Amino acid sequence: MERIILDVDTGLDDAVALFLAAGLQEFTIEAVIATAGNVGLEKTLENTLNILETAGIRCPVYKGADKPLVRKPVQAGDFHGKSGLDGPVFAPRKFQRAQEEDGIDALIRLVKAMPHQISIVSVGPLTDLALAFRKDPAVALLCKQIVVMGGSFSQGNVTEHAEFNTFADPEAASLVFSSGAKLVLFPLDCTRRVTLSPARLADFQRRKGRSTAVFCSCMESYTANYTKRGQGQPQMHDPLCVAYLVDPSKVETEYCRVEVDTNPGQTYGKTTKTSTNSDGGVLVAKNIDIPWFWTLVDRSLANLP
């Protein structure tokens, strides 16, 4: 059983990551932290609470950072919709609400209470982790591992050079990548390989269950946004980080030193990698077993209400 903390800026593919973690017996969700990213914090928090309530998951949910460390906030509401999760309609919640404790403090507390036992899945800007490591540098080395969706070593998706999560807080990403924590990185170079086909979405649409219905509504919006922009089939970025923790052998990786450009200019937020051994390196995902990934999505949704 893998103990995990999910750090999310819940938009359309974050929702799939949450459903995946909620529906697989391999995980115990110790906490979920919502951070500003795809949209502002109040909206990402609301979206996170709604997805977890839909999945019937009773775990503590916390507020993370409401802005980047240094830069002015940027958002991706034009892609995920005004709410950050356009598509599904949620009934009033009955049990899920945000905790009073600050999410950064909660992350520090939980990791220190269970040293080397908690894996963190971070699929938004890395602001929360950076703030936690600044506040208590020991925490970086007490995490079992941290699996991050971010960066690109080819073409960006928000600028020519930069991927959104890294661009949204380059200073935080730089701090985390150099923290000494055991890091696994899923860049666009890997996540762009995994897409949702119309046939697969149609298959999900024939299934029953409220979680599956919300999943489909999210993916219909996601598909429409990709189609509108002429970008092909929707890419499953964030859920790959959850899948990795089920069976790392299904992912092809390489050790690299990863650096983030924090200088203002055209390459702000750009990530670069240089090969290294495991000492001080980041384990960078290159490829994943795609049919296996979809079996996990099938299984998780079948397990959810």
* Gyration radius (Cα) of the chain, Å: 18
* Contact residues for 49 (Cβ-Cβ < 8 A; gap 6+): 61, 93, 96, 97, 98
Q: What is the residue type of 275? A: S
Question: What DSSP assignment string belongs to 132-143?
Answer: HHHH-THHHHHS
Our answer to whether residue 9 is catalytic in this structure is yes
Q: Which of 197, 189, 294 is nearest to 243 (CA)?
A: 294
Tokens describing residue 272: 């670069």
Query: Which is the catalytic residue, given 7, 9, 14, 128?
Result: 9
Active site residues: 9
